[in-house]
Structure 1
Amino acid sequence: MKKWLMSISIMVLGSIAQATDVGHPEQEAKADLEAGKAKAAVCGGCHGMDGNSAIPNYPSLAGQHPNYLEKQLKEFKENKRQDPMMVGQAQTLSDQDIINVSAYFAQQELAPGVAKPEAIALGEKIFRGGNPVTGVTACAACHGPVGMGNRPAKFPRISGQKAAYTIKALKDFRAGKRKNDINSMMQGVSANMTDPEIEAVAEYSAGLAKE
């Protein structure tokens, strides 16, 4: 148990230290929110104009860390993260557009989510304690006790996120379809997660509220 906890600490601290791009306050200060809102109009069909998606498989962007959104858009643009629709959309954006759009969505209020009651017990167990038997790290170790993430390390906010999207993301990491996670952390964590664990933790995190 002690070795398992120590490995979690080393992995988390190492990833924070090795995150090569830990946010750009100077860029965020230059963000044009009105320009971001205008450019985000094309995003609204899938993610909602205020960043609250009405489509379960598409993530809500409201309240997400701007530097995390910048990272994802840049990696779609550079084909480091694969999705036919998002790659095409991102390639139309300039670097300044990405800063503006990310800042705009980060400023929006995320609508509260709801967890399925039957998933809460297992979801909370995995979220807070992981599964030491199979080597699954607790989600809270990186994403925080209420899922608000870690902005300097670019660990995203997952509280309130659509459960269906989180399920897809975890299964894509597990299957190796998505590989743009820092130090392959999410690929490693999801590799040992069962479908019931993935579904339960996705539901649980969807119902978490901001501190």
Structure 2
Amino acid sequence: MNRAFSPFMKSLLVATLAVSGFASATAPAPAAKADPAKGASLYDTGDAARGLPACVSCHGAGGNSTIAVNPRLSGQIANYTHKQLIDFTTPARQNPIMTTYAKMMTDEEKRNVAAYLETQKAKPNAARNKDTLELGKKIYRGGIAGTGVAACASCHGPAGGGVPALFPRIAGQNADYTVSTLQAFKAGARSNSVQMTTLAKRMSDEEMKAVADYIAGLK
């Protein structure tokens, strides 16, 4: 057998190598592994040179916000926090404060901060309205059959721990923040979750407040 390549085979080999080289040159580099230590530094001190404030000033030490309208971020699933920081830079989730700061952060910084927050232990919170506790519990565990609202537990887990890469941790979240989030989904001011937009539109303000208060007490 003649072992020499035919002109056709030579052309095919050159073309194959060229395509392979092009694919290698244009393929995006994999994201660097997140560094929680760097995330902690940015979270606690910010970056004054760029005018980026410390996250701790609004979200509390280790993500345990004591400001009712600001979310608790401690123990939050890193992929979820990273996605939200990206979403703040899009029309799907605009916020006068967070949109500004999220646009200042690199993707690496977003990943680092998210990784740091996932390692932080959430401090206990509590439900505060005993009059609506049963209603909140009913909605969280069983939904609202009459209006087609699914049980919160079906996505966020029986204890509110969330599902990595799918649904966020909500256990212990500040009730005021949860209510404002549900209202934003209902009004269309936040549109980065089709499921939550659909469900929030089926809930009354009373139902939102009841389930938000119940969620605050989950551990």
**Which category of TM-score, normalised to the shorter sequence, fits these structures?**
0.7 to 0.9
Q: Does 1:35 align with 2:48?
A: no
Q: What is the aligned counterpart of 2:159 among 137, 142, 146?
A: 146
User: Is contact 1:122-1:200 (8 Å) kept?
Assistant: yes
Distance 1:148 1:178, change over 3 A: same
Spell out, residue by residue over 1:53-89, the C-alpha distance to the aligned partner (whole angstroms, 9 max, x if none): 0100000110000000000001112343100100111
Spell out, residue by residue over 1:64-117, the C-alpha distance to the aligned partner (whole angstroms, 9 max, x if none): 000000000011123431001001111111110011000011110111110022
Amino acid at match of 1:34: A
User: In structure 1, what is the Cα distance between the partners aligned to 2:115 and 2:158?
Assistant: 24
Q: What is the aligned counterpart of 1:45 among 49, 52, 57?
A: 57
Q: Does 1:90 align with 2:102?
A: yes
Q: Does 1:109 align with 2:125?
A: no
Task: Give the SS at the match of 1:177.
Answer: coil
User: Is contact 1:63-1:108 (8 Å) kept?
Assistant: yes
User: Is contact 1:53-1:60 (8 Å) kept?
Assistant: yes
Task: State the Cα distance separating 1:165 from its structure 2 match.
Answer: 0.3
User: Is contact 2:69-2:174 (8 Å) kept?
Assistant: yes
Q: What is the aligned counterpart of 2:173 among 161, 183, 187?
A: 161
Task: Give the SS at the match of 2:72.
Answer: coil
State how many pairs are aligned. 180
Q: Counterpart in 1 of 2:70?
A: 58
Amino acid at match of 1:162: N
Q: Counterpart in 2 of 1:207?
A: 217
Runs of 4+ in 1 over 4 A off after TM superposition: none
Task: State the Cα distance separating 1:149 from its structure 2 match.
Answer: 1.0
User: Is contact 2:92-2:190 (8 Å) kept?
Assistant: no
Q: Counterpart in 2 of 1:198?
A: 208
Task: State the Cα distance separating 1:119 from its structure 2 match.
Answer: 2.2
User: In structure 2, what is the Cα distance between the partners aligned to 1:118 and 1:159?
Assistant: 20
Q: What is the aligned counterpart of 2:131 among 118, 128, 139?
A: 118
User: Is contact 1:79-1:87 (8 Å) kept?
Assistant: no
CA-atom RMSD in angstroms: 1.3
User: In structure 1, what is the Cα distance between the partners aligned to 2:91 and 2:56?
Assistant: 22
User: In structure 2, what is the Cα distance between the partners aligned to 1:179 and 1:110?
Assistant: 27
User: In structure 2, what is the Cα distance between the partners aligned to 1:160 and 1:139?
Assistant: 14
Structure number with greater CO (CA < 8 Å, separation at least 6) is 1
Q: Counterpart in 1 of 2:18?
A: none
Gapped runs of 5+ residues in structure 1?
1-25
TM-score by length of 1: 0.82
Spell out, residue by residue over 1:131-182, the C-alpha distance to the aligned partner (whole angstroms, 9 max, x if none): 11111111111111111111131x111110000000000011111111011x
Task: Give the SS at the match of 2:146.
Answer: coil
Q: Counterpart in 2 of 1:70?
A: 82
User: In structure 2, what is the Cα distance between the partners aligned to 1:101 and 1:78?
Assistant: 19
- The percentage of aligned residue pairs carrying the same residue is 45
